[in-house]
């Protein structure tokens, strides 16, 4: 069986590698020529533990290749971006142009027996839109198009394990699509279990999972602001509350970032603004947290001319992904307020990053008068004593005993 994975980013590339390891003939396809050239040259373009090794093994096995030209295939996976944009009124809207364009490209080659698996995270009824687009391009009746939505749930940093061991939701539009998609995932999965449902439930399932985390973190962030007013340690409070067998509050931070948790709740709110009150309030709470942190930091500086050192720019520890990163938002606010600042993120290139000076750990320790810990990168965890020599504001509880 030949599988083409459309989109060779954080999700598509590890997926292509894993599928090839499970015995499928796989083509990694991307519209970005540079990405394909780099992969063809034998070097991966994202940071993920174990990925380069798995890539080398898959390519050497002869069942994985990369192309910037889409060719006929038995199965088309779609793993393209699904960001949001803000319209003129400031409302958050899902941007589905990548899904639609991938669908139109696959539709031109689609045969009735083929399967299309949508792995991107999408708003409710996107699978239906995809089936319509595939039908328009292929001329196949929409009810006969085999589309399954199988949302990806892996966590960056542990993808190669989770791709084989997480349970998978297979939300299909036809019984044939459900069987075909389930058979593929069963071949890939070691411990994970396949759960079959309809496409709309699968779409909502992924959004529900990420929104659950956003709401929980919003609660933690709200507690951090309340604790700050009360003068008590929020990290100790949460640790104690979590001793309760049925309480599990997540960790506060500088906000919430990334391509998923900071985005997906908007997909529900866009379609249900009257109903999604808790979801909306949580999003707003998390979006406002960098401003709270900036004000705390500015209020703590000994002199207005002091240099603030921001420890961490990516959206989570030990990854290079900066999409929707609240640390970047914090830097932006510091800049607006005229604060001198530098940053250190070992996963980003040193130098100027769109107006943010990213320096080495040694340099930030030397030059900053005040440190803000926005992330628990291992480099920072391993050097707590050095950080503690400066005054600091700890957003994530890194310096807790």
Ligand X SMILES: NC(=O)c1ccc[n+]([C@@H]2O[C@H](COP(=O)([O-])OP(=O)(O)OC[C@H]3O[C@@H](n4cnc5c(N)ncnc54)[C@H](O)[C@@H]3O)[C@@H](O)[C@H]2O)c1
List active site positions.
206, 260
Nearer to ligand X, 22 or 322 (CB): 322
CA 341/CA 310 separation, integer angstroms: 7
DSSP result, 35-78: HHHHHHTT--SS--TTHHHHHHHHHHHTSEEEESS----SEEEE
How many DSSP H helices and E strands does the chain contain? 15, 16
Query: Applying CB under 6 A, does 105 fall inside the site for ligand X?
Result: yes
Would strands 356-358 and 84-86 be described as parallel, antiparallel, or unpaired?
unpaired
In the list 152, 214, 324, 329, the residue contacting ligand X (rule: CB under 6 A) is 152
Q: Which stretch binds ligand X (CB under 6 A): 2-10, 18-26, 197-205, 387-395?
A: 2-10
Nearer to ligand X, 162 or 179 (CB): 162
Smallest gap from residue 369 Cβ to ligand X (A) = 35
Looking only at Cα atoms, what is the longest distance across the chain?
Answer: 69
Question: Which long-range CB contacts under 8 A does 22-27 form with residues at least 24 apart?
Answer: 22/187, 22/188, 23/63, 23/187, 24/63, 24/184, 24/187, 25/1, 25/63, 26/2, 26/58, 26/63, 26/64, 26/65, 27/2, 27/3, 27/64, 27/65, 27/66, 27/67, 27/71, 27/73
Residues 6+ apart with CB under 8 A from 307: 340, 341, 342, 367, 368, 369, 370
Smallest gap from residue 36 Cβ to ligand X (A) = 9
- Using an 8 Å Cβ cutoff, are 354 and 331 in contact? no
Residue nearest to ligand X according to CB distances in the complex? 9
In the list 16, 54, 58, 80, the residue contacting ligand X (rule: CB under 6 A) is 80
In the list 2, 23, 32, 125, the residue contacting ligand X (rule: CB under 6 A) is 32
Query: Applying CB under 6 A, does 121 fall inside the site for ligand X?
Result: yes
Query: Applying CB under 6 A, does 313 fall inside the site for ligand X?
Result: no
Nearer to ligand X, 25 or 209 (CB): 209
CA 370/CA 209 separation, integer angstroms: 37
Query: Applying CB under 6 A, does 48 fall inside the site for ligand X?
Result: no
DSSP class of 134: H
Query: Applying CB under 6 A, does 35 fall inside the site for ligand X?
Result: yes
- Using an 8 Å Cβ cutoff, are 27 and 66 in contact? yes
Query: Applying CB under 6 A, does 8 fall inside the site for ligand X?
Result: yes
In the list 12, 28, 257, 346, the residue contacting ligand X (rule: CB under 6 A) is 12
CA 108/CA 12 separation, integer angstroms: 21
Query: Applying CB under 6 A, does 31 fall inside the site for ligand X?
Result: yes
Smallest gap from residue 133 Cβ to ligand X (A) = 12
Query: Applying CB under 6 A, does 324 fall inside the site for ligand X?
Result: no
Smallest gap from residue 268 Cβ to ligand X (A) = 14
Query: Applying CB under 6 A, does 98 fall inside the site for ligand X?
Result: yes
Dihedral pair phi/psi, residue 93, rounded to 5°: -125, 140
Nearer to ligand X, 125 or 384 (CB): 125
Would strands 307-311 and 340-344 be described as parallel, antiparallel, or unpaired?
parallel
Nearer to ligand X, 161 or 393 (CB): 161
Vertex 178: Cα angle to 173 and 180 (nearest 5) = 125
In the list 3, 4, 10, 261, the residue contacting ligand X (rule: CB under 6 A) is 10
In the list 4, 20, 73, 82, the residue contacting ligand X (rule: CB under 6 A) is 82
Query: Applying CB under 6 A, does 9 fall inside the site for ligand X?
Result: yes
Smallest gap from residue 76 Cβ to ligand X (A) = 10
Nearer to ligand X, 31 or 51 (CB): 31
CA 336/CA 321 separation, integer angstroms: 24
Q: Which stretch binds ligand X (CB under 6 A): 30-38, 169-177, 221-229, 247-255?
A: 30-38
Which residues are near ligand X by CB under 6 A? Answer: 6-12, 29-32, 35, 79-82, 98, 101-102, 105, 120-121, 152, 154, 156, 259-260
């Amino acid at each position: 069986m030949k599988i083409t994975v459309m989109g060779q980013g954080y999700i598509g590339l590890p997926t292509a590698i894993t599928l090839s390891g499970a015995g499928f003939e796989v083509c990694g396809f991307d519209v970005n020529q540079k990405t394909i050239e780099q992969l063809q040259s034998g070097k991966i373009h994202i940071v993920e533990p174990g990925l380069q090794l798995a890539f080398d093994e898959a390519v050497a096995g002869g069942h994985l290749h990369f192309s910037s030209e889409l060719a006929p295939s038995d199965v088309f996976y779609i793993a393209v971006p699904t960001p949001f944009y803000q319209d003129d009124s400031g409302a958050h809207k899902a941007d589905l142009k990548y899904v639609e364009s991938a669908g139109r490209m696959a539709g031109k080659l689609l045969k009735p027996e083929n399967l299309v698996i949508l792995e991107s995270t999408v708003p409710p009824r996107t699978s239906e839109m995809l089936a319509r687009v595939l039908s328009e391009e292929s001329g196949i009746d929409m009810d006969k198009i085999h589309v399954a939505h199988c949302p990806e749930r892996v966590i960056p940093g542990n993808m190669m394990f989770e791709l084989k061991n997480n349970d998978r939701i297979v939300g299909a539009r036809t019984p044939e699509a459900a069987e075909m998609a389930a058979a593929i995932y069963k071949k890939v999965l070691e411990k994970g279990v396949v759960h079959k449902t309809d496409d709309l439930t699968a779409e909502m399932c992924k959004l529900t999972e990420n929104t659950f985390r956003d709401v929980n973190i919003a609660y933690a962030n709200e507690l951090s602001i309340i604790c700050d007013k009360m003068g008590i340690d929020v990290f100790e409070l949460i640790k104690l509350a979590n001793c309760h067998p049925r309480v599990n509050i997540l960790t506060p931070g500088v906000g919430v970032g990334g391509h998923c948790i900071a985005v997906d709740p908007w997909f529900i709110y866009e379609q249900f603004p009257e109903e999604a009150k808790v979801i909306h309030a949580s999003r707003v709470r998390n979006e406002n947290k960098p401003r709270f942190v900036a004000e705390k930091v500015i209020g703590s500086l000994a002199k207005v001319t002091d240099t603030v050192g921001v420890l961490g720019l990516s959206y989570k520890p030990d990854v290079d992904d900066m999409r929707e990163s609240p640390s970047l938002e914090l830097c932006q606010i510091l800049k607006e307020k005229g604060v001198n600042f530098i940053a250190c993120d070992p996963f980003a290139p040193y130098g100027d990053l769109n107006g943010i000076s990213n320096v080495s750990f040694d340099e930030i320790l030397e030059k900053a008068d005040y440190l803000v810990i926005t992330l628990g990168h291992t480099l920072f965890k391993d050097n707590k004593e050095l950080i503690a020599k400066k005054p600091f504001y700890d957003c994530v509880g890194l310096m807790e005993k």
